Amino acid sequence: MKNLRLSLLFVAGAGACFGQQWEFGAIGGGSFLSNVNVSSPVGSATAGFQAGLAAGAFVGQSISPHIAGEIRYEFLQSNLQLSSGGSTARFNGQAHAVHYDFILHTNRKNSPIQFFGAVGGGMKIFRGTGTEAAYQPLSQYGYMTKARTVKGMGSVGAGITYQLTPKLFMRTEFRDFITAFPKELITPAPNAKYGSLLHDFVPMVGMDYVF
């Protein structure tokens, strides 16, 4: 929790340095994570997370007619899984993303339709929430644990906003949250080697109120 408080203070401080036009919104969609390859003397497997729901909120400020900054939070349903030879082992899990992104608009902020790109960073908190057992399927490749770990996260994406009223916008976007693979949650078995990078592809739709 200390890391989370420090991150929130940092991004809040960054946002406080910018302009005066504010916006806030809510957003939701899906979370589709990549897998990493697992190699072991006993065979091969893949480790990763099931697709799940994503929901979040954001607060933003305009920095210039084409640039804004956003403080964002997303909750991501991310159940752990190991797969090999047609067999799959699963374990309940979730993740929380906290980050600050710079938003580059192709048109001025008051344009009714805007395409935008996003780049930023923060952290992602992974949690295994299932019930541990003495035996787990596919434990020759790894063991899924009820644990928590924090990883630094890069955030990139793009989207479109469409003006519904002078102060209300609809937004569609696609994000890629990039972290190191959380081996604290899916612990490699002895002599098993895991890939290192995890992508979380998150398409979302939301509403954005400007004031």
79-116 pLDDT per residue, tens = 999 999 989 999 999 999 999 999 998 876 667 899 99
50-70 pLDDT per residue, tens = 999 999 999 999 888 889 999
Q: Which pLDDT does position 112 carry in this prediction?
A: 87
Q: Which pLDDT does position 134 carry in this prediction?
A: 83
Average pLDDT, the chain: 90
- Each residue of 135-162: b (16+ CB within 10 Å) or e? ebebebbbbbbebebbbebebebebebe
- Entry pTM: 0.86
57, with CB counted inside 10 A (0-12, 13-18, 19+), is middle
Whichever domain contains 10, its CATH number is 2.40.160.20
Structurally, how many domains does the chain consist of?
A: 1
The residue to which tokens 């081996």 are assigned: 183
Range of the domain at 130: 2-210
pLDDT, mean of residues 31-45: 95
User: pLDDT grade, residue 19 (50/70/90)?
Assistant: very low
Q: Which pLDDT does position 2 carry in this prediction?
A: 52
